[in-house]
Amino acid sequence: MSQSNLEKQEAKLKALNQKIKDEKNKIEQRLGKQIISQANLDYGTLATPQIKMIAKKVAAFLNQSQNNQ
């Protein structure tokens, strides 16, 4: 393969990786928004320790649900 073909493939790979990263961010934001909405949480009162605690509780619940299937 010539250098220009490698550069083109590298550019495509970088673009694909960025697209994957952007999609992951969208999903994370939607998930967080839904959790906040469903739990009737106030954005103004959510501090980092509370966010971490909620995330741990959700993760534990989901892991438990998966283990019970």
pLDDT single digits (tens) 25-46: 999 999 999 999 999 999 888 8
Mean pLDDT of 2-31: 94
Greatest extent of the chain over all pairs of C-alpha atoms, in Å: 57
pTM here is 0.70
**Distance, CA of 56 to CA of 44 (rounded, Å):** 20
pLDDT band at 14 (very low <50, low <70, confident <90, very high): very high
